[in-house]
Structure 1
Amino acid sequence: MEWPGRAEALLEHARDKIVVLDEEGTFRYLNQATADILGFDPEELLGENAFEYIHPDDRERVRSRFERVVAGREDRGTIEYRHRSSDGSYLWIESRIAELTDPETGYIVSSRDITERVRAERERDETADRLEELAAKADDVLWMFSADWSDVLFLNAAYERVYGQPAEGVRADPQRFLDAIHPEDRPTVRDAMARLSAGESVDMEYRVNPRQDYSRWVWVQAEPIFEAGEVVRIVGFTRDVTDRQRRERQLRVIDTILRHNLRNDLNTVIGHAEYVSEHPEDDPPAHAEVIHRTAQELLHKAEKQRRTIELLTEPVTPCRIDVTTAIEDAVAAVENHYPDAEIETDLPQSLAVCAIGEIGTAIRELLGNAAKHADEAPAWIRVTAVQVDGRAVVEIEDTCPQIPDYEYRVLTGEQAIDGVTHTSGLGLWLVYWVIDLSNGTISFETDDDGNTVTVSLPLATSEQ
């Protein structure tokens, strides 16, 4: 094909591959960039069909597009495909097809090598896919919000498990995630949100998950993302640290109660031993009896502490347990120890719950406390078990003196345990931890007539 001299000079020095094809796709002209890009001498390809050099998987798509342009059914535009080079490898090419002024002359196709761009896009897509896969499988909640918290830009699947509310609802209304946060912690979280929007980093812990009575503790680290000096996004992660919080609290409890019991009981032992030493004439056997009884009680407390530590340190998994049978066994054990106690029961024939094996021990501890602390003999206790809203609810009523509010406020976390405010022993803590490890809850009601302890446990599923 002949071109005017100036036009041919421009075509030969063009960086893009420029060819002219007839209606069948036969090469009628190729510029020098053909050699630079594909490695073919332009003379080699003259008279060859262009579609034979296109990757088999792309060939029909490109041919169909060319035929539509020839037929006048499609305007010029770009198309991407793989083109064979002189060494047999394939390069990614982006081409634009246009009809020359004289249709009989042919169709001009300008092309450029986009192999590096396609490779970079693929690597980026593969990286994005890997990140998506990691995010989907991550135990941590990974999230991204707009700077004003009005849009959820990213939220992985772990959100619902940790926060206890559907991710779809938060995507529709981002402020709804505050509903998943313990009401007492929401002001602190709102303050942290404002600080992030203002450009500060945040590292904090708070309680979440209304489905589990806000009993889950999470650790959150978040950072503002800046563009041109302004906060445009906020990214962070949330990690469930409930087990760590539980262990730390357990250590504080055991340490406090151990020091309290040792101090009180050993003061009793030392006091009586010193008195006997100083007054040997004043009935030593009576003082020896006090020392012996106190030592026995201390040994009993040590054994209970050992059982508690075993419970807390050995792996436990909730399983299917008939709570009716557990209650009946606990009642029998307490009646054997306190034969005068009057224990009434109103129980279903069976009620399967998902709990750890020590749930019977916890119920026996609660019944034993009621029988032990009754002001008047015989002790009266009533135990019921019912199914309510998909959970098993066990109630233990007694006519004992009111349980001091600090006893159960410390248990439920409403009041911190310290050297002044603590429960009287490990018994109630053992109960609390068994129920907690069973994903249950415990609550207390007291009045002048006595106490009611309510234990709520998840029902067993058909698979358990």
Structure 2
Amino acid sequence: MQLIFDDIETIDNKYYPVLKTKQNRQFEDRYRLIADHASDMIVIIKPESLELCYVSPSFEKVMGYYEAEILGHKCLHFIFPADRAAALKGIREGIEMGFGMSRFRMIKKDQTSLWVEALGKNINSEVNKNEILIVIRDISQQKLTEKALKESELRLRRITDNMLDGVCTLSESGIFDYVSPSHQSIMGFTPDELVGKHNFNLLHPDDRGRLKKFFTTLINTDSGGTIEYRALHKKGYYVWLESVGRVFINESNGSKQCVVASRDITTRKQAESELRQREEDLRYKVEYLNTLINNMNELCYTYDKDFLISFVNQKTLDVTGYSQEDLLGKSFVHFIPESDQEKVMQQVRKRFSSGNTSVHEHRIISKDGRELLLKVKSSAVFEQGGITCGLVLAEDITQQRKIEKEMARLGQLNTVGEMAASIGHEIRNPMTTVQGFLQMMSQNENLKEQRPYFDLMLEELSRANSIITEFLSLAKDKMVYLKKYNLNRIVQALAPLLVADAIKEDKGIMFQLDDIPEVLLDEKEIRQLILNLVRNGLEAMPAGGKITIKTSQEENEVILSIQDQGTGIAPEIKDQLGTPFLSSKENGIGLGLAVCYSIVARHNANMDFETCPEGTIFRVKFKQPKE
């Protein structure tokens, strides 16, 4: 802005006397161009009437008036009424002195006001006599900033005057220069007792070195920071303080001062210590409970009202094979077979409505697809008087139930076996007599016409004799002659017979025999076992089906697997399989699998099966003998 006035001075003293020349007109155009494009408003007024005789285009942009609305009007017309007297005084003083500055508010065309700063200068030349050039700058934002700063300073002073924190200033050597009165309520010392003293003498010995380092860093880096430490109270005990320090430079002498605001945090520190102790105690209890829960022999898990699993213990993961990521946040219904879901959901709904505890059984699906039977004790969890989730303690009774069924089946087998052992020979003796006489009579030419009846009776007697033989195979105390045998040899010896049986029914047999060690076997019984299982499989398959006989070794067991491509075992008889006289065949007597289970038991082996609509596989697991 001063450059504009310097140029105007040049115009007054040099160019106006020769303004009529072409060269001087170029200079006039040049300065008018500057005025027309300046961001500040430039006006020229007559000193006597204060009328506007020139306004720059920026006046229109800022104030909203057109040039025609302005020229010829008194400049006071555009000044805020309350400020006109001060503005007029500034103009009069400027006229007398030749130069002046004033601040006031102007009224825009839209009747809003803005603060401006005006600099005026008399223009005295042959062309422009007794005119005043005024450069006006919008300082509204500056005034707002100044107002906000004053309000902020006022608020800060009020806060400082009424704050409970202690405020002090320290010299570069750590001497108290100023101490606020609130220090007395914090440390017991009056300001007069602290000013001029070294603050480090009041620090706890264990904190002194740390605080000296903190203070030195502030002074050397002109920075700020926060620190907690213990300071001596006038009564002889230590209080915990939290101090915020900031370094300022004294403009008068260039020295550094550290302004420190401190507050008593003794109560907070005690509370934090108690809280840490409680957290430690709670952490120990939680770890203790987690150890108990994760080492218990029962499955334990919780679920919310949306049936989403919220907690599982280690036993649950071990039994099901899932990871926590597989289970947490998932609906537990997803892990229950469809056939059990409705029953389980009824129990859960009852739990959330009544809060009662119940004990029931249902199955779950493990990660490898197996169905496990659980004995479940389910209860509701109450928080703040309401039910928030369900708690389940469960025991895997899959093996237990399997053993119970096996024992029941073996009991039935033993009963039938004992009956067979006690009456088998007694029945066979008269049957042998009847069979002999029927054979004799069938050879009598006088009874030639009755021979078909004799043949039928002989066939039925032979069938009855086979049933008695199978009965005797069920006997618990039947003698077995175990010796080391390679299972592959028995399978290979039976292979021609098995293949012949399959070919007669337009079916096939495939062998997959791995290298396996010898196990203790009764060859005759194992032959019977294989024949029964293979013939059952052939009967279960339609024409074109295939039986797969496989041997393998897993750890210390040799496994015989026989798999068919039938339609699977009906669910209603699956759990009763191996029970004497249970058969799904039209002419079956239900002793084939019962005999197989007896043979397996006498070999101290295990037999299980898997079935589906695509077929069934039986696995017999023989233990390797110890060396």
Name the TM-score, length of structure 1 as normaliser.
Answer: 0.54
CA deviation vs aligned residue, 1:336-361 (integer Å, no higher than 9, x gap): 999986897534574899xx999x99
- Report what 2:279 is aligned to: 121
In the alignment, structure 1 segments of 5+ residues that lack a partner are 1-17, 35-44, 84-92, 277-281, 284-289, 308-324, 376-380, 447-451, 459-464
Q: Cα distance, 1:366 vs. partner?
A: 4.7
Of residues 181, 186, 203 in structure 2, which corresponds to 1:49? 203
Change (3 A) 1:264 1:298: closer
CA deviation vs aligned residue, 1:254-307 (integer Å, no higher than 9, x gap): 11222234345645556678x79xxxxx99xxxxxx999999866643358899
- Report what 2:490 is aligned to: 330
In 2, Cα distance between equivalents of 1:161 and 1:361: 41
Alignment check: 8 A CA contact 1:181 1:214 kept? no
- Report what 1:111 is aligned to: 266
Q: Cα distance, 1:429 vs. partner?
A: 3.4
Of residues 194, 197, 211 in structure 1, which corresponds to 2:352? 197
- Report what 2:57 is aligned to: none
- Report what 2:388 is aligned to: 232
Matches within 5 A, 1:378-393: 383-384=547-548
SS of residue matched to 1:154:
strand
Change (3 A) 1:357 1:348: same
Of residues 369, 389, 396 in structure 1, which corresponds to 2:532? 369
- Report what 1:301 is aligned to: 474
In 1, Cα distance between equivalents of 2:600 and 2:211: 69
Q: Cα distance, 1:241 vs. partner?
A: 2.1
* Correspondence 1:429 to 2:574: no
- Report what 1:9 is aligned to: none
Change (3 A) 1:393 1:259: closer
Q: Cα distance, 1:97 vs. partner?
A: 2.1
Q: Cα distance, 1:370 vs. partner?
A: 5.6
In 2, Cα distance between equivalents of 1:94 and 1:426: 87
CA deviation vs aligned residue, 1:166-217 (integer Å, no higher than 9, x gap): 4324324x22x32322232222211222122221213222222255543322
1:384 counterpart letter in structure 2: T
- Report what 1:179 is aligned to: 334
Change (3 A) 1:429 1:445: farther
Change (3 A) 1:349 1:330: closer
Change (3 A) 1:349 1:297: closer
Q: Cα distance, 1:428 vs. partner?
A: 3.9
- Report what 1:87 is aligned to: none
Q: Over aligned residues, Cα RMSD in angstroms?
A: 6.3
Change (3 A) 1:53 1:206: same
Of residues 296, 312, 320 in structure 2, which corresponds to 1:155? 312
SS of residue matched to 2:328:
helix
Of residues 592, 596, 610 in structure 2, which corresponds to 1:442? 610
Alignment check: 8 A CA contact 1:165 1:209 kept? no
Alignment check: 8 A CA contact 2:374 2:397 kept? yes
Matches within 5 A, 1:13-412: 47-50=201-204, 52=206, 73=224, 97=242, 107-112=262-267, 113-114=270-271, 115-136=273-294, 140-150=298-308, 152-172=309-329, 174-175=330-331, 177-198=332-353, 199-263=355-419, 266-268=422-424, 300-303=473-476, 326=487, 328-332=488-492, 334=494, 346-348=510-512, 350=514, 366-369=529-532, 383-384=547-548, 395=562, 410=573, 412=574
SS of residue matched to 1:216:
strand
In 2, Cα distance between equivalents of 1:365 and 1:444: 25
Change (3 A) 1:298 1:336: farther
CA deviation vs aligned residue, 1:120-163 (integer Å, no higher than 9, x gap): 2101112223333454555543212223424x322234434433
Q: Cα distance, 1:247 vs. partner?
A: 1.4
Change (3 A) 1:238 1:386: same
Alignment check: 8 A CA contact 2:298 2:315 kept? yes
In 1, Cα distance between equivalents of 2:289 and 2:516: 42
In 2, Cα distance between equivalents of 1:298 and 1:420: 11
In 2, Cα distance between equivalents of 1:428 and 1:339: 21
SS of residue matched to 2:338:
coil
1:50 counterpart letter in structure 2: H
2:277 counterpart letter in structure 1: R
SS of residue matched to 2:265:
strand
In 1, Cα distance between equivalents of 2:287 and 2:580: 53
In the alignment, structure 2 segments of 5+ residues that lack a partner are 1-164, 189-198, 232-237, 246-256, 432-436, 439-462, 481-485, 540-544, 552-558, 584-589, 622-627
- Report what 2:36 is aligned to: none
In 1, Cα distance between equivalents of 2:467 and 2:377: 50
CA deviation vs aligned residue, 1:341-390 (integer Å, no higher than 9, x gap): 6897534574899xx999x9998555221678899xxxxx9753689xxx
1:52 counterpart letter in structure 2: D
In 2, Cα distance between equivalents of 1:438 and 1:25: 88
Name the TM-score, length of structure 2 as normaliser.
Answer: 0.42
Alignment check: 8 A CA contact 1:268 1:294 kept? no
In 2, Cα distance between equivalents of 1:62 and 1:123: 36
Equivalent residue pairs, number: 358
